Amino acid sequence: MYDIPELEKKWKRYKRNKIKKPILITLSTLTLGAILFLGATQYKRFFPQNSTSNTTSQQAPVVKKEPQKPLQRKEAVSPLKEEEKAIIIKKTPIPKAANKSDDIGIDLSNATIVEPDVPDDEIRVIGFDKNEKKRVEKEYKMLLNPQKKKPKIDPIVQEYQERFTQSKDPQDALYLAKYFYKKRKYQKAEIWAANANNIDGELEDSWLIFAKAKARQGHRVEAIKILQEYYDSTASPKAKELLDKLRRNKPF
């Protein structure tokens, strides 16, 4: 066994050194930046930029008068591109578009709301930029089709499930069966144990998990029957032990 207090001291030193490096790099970068900046300003003070132009041109500056262009009136609203013209929220039974927009807190004061050339239950909103459009679309989607929260799946379980679909490795199925059994999800445990059994009928653990999961779901008689069949063909001591427990209604 290691000297843990001493090890912790070393770890603290390691952490300090680890933090030191980026700090030193940042400080030196900042210092270098500051030096360069000061150097540049000093250089400008001593050698102003127009000093060269003074020496080269001795002539009096001539001011050219350019003909004044008539001021063009800028368009208040730039024309919309084809792709940006509309957000179509289909099949939305909203009586008034303006009211609906208030509901989700979108400022439509600058937007143009036009009467759509579609059935009454469709709305067209024109005048948002792309990001705004995405946000509006998302909020409408959320509002109209609130998504159910997906139950959290353990990433390892997910990984094993994905791997099993490709590899069909009975060991993967057995791990999943064990996992679900431990988490008291007996139905899933039974399915995964059955998967393992189907691929490799000689995996003892998968038979035991299968029988236990069955029993936990209230199918004790069926569990005994299955286990008895397995025991008859293998004479496994573990199967015998579990069989006895199931028959005597003892905890397993």
Partner 1 sequence: MSYFEIAKTCFVDEVNVDNYVELPGSQKAYDELEMFLEKPFKLILLYGEPGTGKSLLLSRILDKKKYQKEIHYFDSPLLEEEEFFRKLFNILIQKPMPKNTKVDFNTFVEFCKAIKGQREIIILLDEAQLYPKKILEQIRILSDTGVLRFVISLHKTTDEDVIAKTHFRTRIWGTIELKNATKEELKIYIHQKLLRFNQFEIASQIKPKHINFIYKVTKGNFRECSKLMYTTFEIYQYYEKHDPSQFNRDKFSQKFLEMAAIAIGAIDV
Q: Judged by CB under 8 A, which of 142, 143, 156, 221 binds partner 1?
A: 156
> Closer CB to partner 1, residue 140 or residue 175?
175
Residue among 243, 167, 168 at smallest CA distance from 204: 243
Q: Judged by CB under 8 A, which of 133, 178, 188, 240 binds partner 1?
A: 178
The yes or no reply on residue 204 touching partner 1 (CB under 8 A) is no
Give the chain as a DSSP string.
Answer: ---HHHHHHHHHHHHHHHHHHHHHHHHHHHHHHHHHHHHHHHHHHHS-TTHHHHHH--SPPP-PPPPPPPPPPPPSSPPPPTTTS-EEETT---S-HHHHHHHTT---TTSEEE--SS-TT-EEEE---HHHHHHHHHHHHHHHSPPPPPPP--HHHHHHHHHHHHH--HHHHHHHHHHHHHTT-HHHHHHHHHHHHHH-TT-HHHHHHHHHHHHHTT-HHHHHHHHHHHHHHH--HHHHHHHHHHHTT---
> Closer CB to partner 1, residue 40 or residue 156?
156
> Closer CB to partner 1, residue 128 or residue 186?
186
The yes or no reply on residue 120 touching partner 1 (CB under 8 A) is no
Distance CA 100, CA 111 (A): 14
Contact region with partner 1 (CB under 8 A), list: 20-28, 87-95, 122-130, 175-183: 175-183
Where in 135-154 is the site for partner 1 (CB under 8 A)? 154
Shortest approach of partner 1 to residue 136 CB, angstroms? 35
> Closer CB to partner 1, residue 72 or residue 166?
166
> Closer CB to partner 1, residue 126 or residue 199?
199
Shortest approach of partner 1 to residue 247 CB, angstroms? 26
The yes or no reply on residue 184 touching partner 1 (CB under 8 A) is no
The yes or no reply on residue 10 touching partner 1 (CB under 8 A) is yes
The yes or no reply on residue 37 touching partner 1 (CB under 8 A) is no
The yes or no reply on residue 236 touching partner 1 (CB under 8 A) is no
Distance CA 68, CA 155 (A): 69
Q: Judged by CB under 8 A, which of 84, 179, 200, 220 binds partner 1?
A: 179
Residues that bind partner 1 (CB under 8 A): 1-2, 4, 7-8, 10-11, 13-15, 17, 154-156, 159, 169, 171, 175, 178-179, 182-183
